[in-house]
Amino acid sequence: MADVHDRMPVILRAADRAAWLHADRDTAFGLCRTWDGDLVIDRTRDRWASGGETAQARLFD
């Protein structure tokens, strides 16, 4: 995953969302496990936000 993204995403089941958001740290950490399903990576050259970095800077105006 590191060649696509420099952070480790966590893929949660719907039943685990509340625990991820509201449980103690040890419980949330227990939800971090290896995904055993297939993942598809679709690369793009397009920016995710129109306007690039300036779009984010406008959040603070």
24-60 pLDDT tens trace: 999 999 998 887 888 787 777 776 665 555 555 555 6
On whether the pTM is more than 0.75, the answer is: no
Q: Is the pLDDT of residue 7 over 80?
A: no
pLDDT at 60: 63
Find all residues with CB under 8 Å of 27, minimum gap 6, and list them.
19
Residue 53: C-alpha distances to residues 8, 12, 57, 60 (Å): 23, 29, 6, 12
- In this structure, are residues 35 and 13 in contact, taking their beta carbons and an 8 Å threshold? no
Dist. CA 17–CA 57, nearest whole Å: 30
Confidence of residue 10 (pLDDT cuts 50, 70, 90): confident
Q: What is the pLDDT of residue 19?
A: 93
